[in-house]
Structure 1
Amino acid sequence: MAVVTLFSAARLDHAQNQFALLAEHPVRVVGVWLDEGLPPAIDGVTVIHQPPGAAGLRLARGRNAGAAAAIDGGADVLVFLDADCLPGPGLLQRYAEAAAEHLESVLCGPVTYLPDGVIPSGHADFEANTRPHPARPNLPAGETRAATADEYRLFWSLSFACTAELWRRVGGFDEVYEGYGAEDTDYASKLRAADVELRWVGGAHAYHQYHPTTSPPWQHLDDILRNGALYRRRWGSWPMQGWLEAFADAGAIELRGDQWQRTASVSVSVSVSDSASADQPGG
């Protein structure tokens, strides 16, 4: 088993918290540095570099490169965690058990969004702070179930797992996506179109560390429009509808025919909120 983590200078402290917890387990860790410049050297972590593209950070390419490095190192199960996410005490075990029973499934565990200043340590501390996001299933530990067709839209790339063989067969994320948004929605749509099962895994808890952000994510507006248009051309619908509607309500974009486009420059109020809202695919 190997854990693949994307991280950058902005999330280095979060990633270090994650790496410290993973060091307690006999698991290989591949960290993918997404920024310009030389990546930091981190004890116990194989760090590879995928610098930004013309349109921003290359999350899709980073996950693909991390998976390739993990498989080349002999990993039979891949666990993907974003830098923000702490692995709960049972995450690796639950993913390993589910992967052994469901070789042809992509596996997703619950995600708790932690409040500001809360960094759990130890089983009791994690348990006391476990409040999974209500939008997704939260099964009892040890239980799994297949996602319904409509639940594929709830796939979040911040915590998921699969066997290396399934990853090779299905292929990775589409690297045409750069910057924020839509690459994970595209991946979920690819899974559904190929009849690859998405399966919810009880007890595989990840804990998203707090960071301030904006709601909606104004800093990603152009990325959302660009990547959303790429997704629509492929799949026939717009992803991230919640964000698009929020931008439209603020007067920043409008629907022209079947395309969302920027309006004339408008003054908008940007409010900082907690990370439990702005990191959700689709808003």
Structure 2
Amino acid sequence: MTTRVAVITTASSARLAHLHRQRRFLREAQSETSTAGIDLLRIEVWLDDAAPQEVGNATVLHLPPGAHGMRVGAARNAAARHAIEAGADLLLFLDVDCLPGPDLLPLSTDAARRRPDDLLAGPVTYLASVQRPNALADLPALTRPHPARPDPAPGALAHAAPTDYALFWSLSFAVTPRVWERIGGFDEAYEGYGAEDTDFAFRARERGVALTWVGGAHAYHQWHPSGTPPWRHLDDILRNGRIFAERWGTWPMEGWLEAFAAAGAIERDGDGWRRAS
């Protein structure tokens, strides 16, 4: 039995080098899983104002930024619609910064066969700046999953408690089309940086979709410069955080908000936050 897996990535010119490496690793992963009953469909959604100049071996969609920045949620929704229309059995979302581990495709596919009604998420390792793997075989030695997320044994499926949905990351996850439609996709009100992935997880919880951690389905986040807290995304975080709080009654990204407040950049505004006056 063949499973058609759509690997969906949102991309931009700022991450072109990361995208090239991801494409190469996916080709290698596809070659290694060619006998595992996986038919790979590659979909990239370009988020820049301009369409990409080169597209590689993928279906490419173009979704320019909105009034408040890149529309990651809307881009994923567009890609999911395309994948479902193309007959995909599984939607696997992989952030442009992430490389697929050797077992990401087969273990995600196996998990979807075992738990077809769940939201499936695997562990993510953040690579250091000096770690530049050249092939799939380089990745296992670099495995060091983020300590704040579950890391089940390879092949094991661990079910999240209701309080654990806030741990969901959209860096690497998979759903069947019927689960995608049950959740309703990403909320397109979120533009720019932050909160859309936690909102997606909370929507899944609200609709009774179980969150399952997939042991061994590793992804590897390629290093890039970033701030802690991410200062260039401050206004996005305030705007998206406010949308999230109005919907769910709590603010996301609390650690970053507290760091911004400690630096004097934001202040409390009732139950929320605003730029310091």
Q: 2:228, 2:25 → 1: CA distance?
A: 30
Deviation at 1:257, TM superposition (A): 1.3
Deviations 1:33-57 (Å, cap 9, x if unpaired)?
0001122332311110010000000
Q: 1:170, 1:20 → 2: CA distance?
A: 31
Q: 1:22, 1:75 → 2: CA distance?
A: 17
Number of equivalences:
264
In the other structure, the counterpart of 1:202 is: 215
| C-alpha contact (below 8 Å) 2:179/2:209 kept by paired residues | no
**2:25 pairs with 1:21:** yes
Deviations 1:190-225 (Å, cap 9, x if unpaired)?
111111100000010000000011110000000000
Deviation at 1:120, TM superposition (A): 2.1
Question: Structure 1 length as normaliser, TM-score?
Answer: 0.91
| C-alpha contact (below 8 Å) 2:25/2:136 kept by paired residues | no
| C-alpha contact (below 8 Å) 1:110/1:138 kept by paired residues | yes
Q: 1:148 aligns with which of 136, 161, 166?
A: 161
Q: Which one-letter code corresponds to 2:104 in the other structure? A: L
In the other structure, the counterpart of 1:228 is: 241
Q: Which one-letter code corresponds to 2:20 in the other structure? A: Q
Q: Which one-letter code corresponds to 1:34 in the other structure? A: L
**2:7 pairs with 1:3:** yes
Alignment of 1:109-258 (within 5 A): 109-258=122-271
Structure 1 residue ranges, 4+ long, deviating more than 3 angstroms after superposition? 121-124
**RMSD of equivalent CA atoms:** 1.0
Deviation at 1:123, TM superposition (A): 4.7
Aligned sequence identity (%): 55
Alignment of 1:34-45 (within 5 A): 34-45=47-58
Secondary structure of 2:128's aligned partner = coil
Deviations 1:144-187 (Å, cap 9, x if unpaired)?
11111111110000100011121122210000000000111111
Q: 1:40, 1:84 → 2: CA distance?
A: 19
Structure 2 unaligned segments of length 5 or more: list them.
Answer: 31-38
Give the stretch that moved more between structures: 166-175 or 176-185. 166-175
Deviations 1:60-80 (Å, cap 9, x if unpaired)?
101101111111111110000
Q: 2:111 aligns with which of 98, 104, 123?
A: 98
Q: Which one-letter code corresponds to 1:10 in the other structure? A: A
Q: 2:78 aligns with which of 45, 62, 65?
A: 65
Secondary structure of 2:139's aligned partner = helix
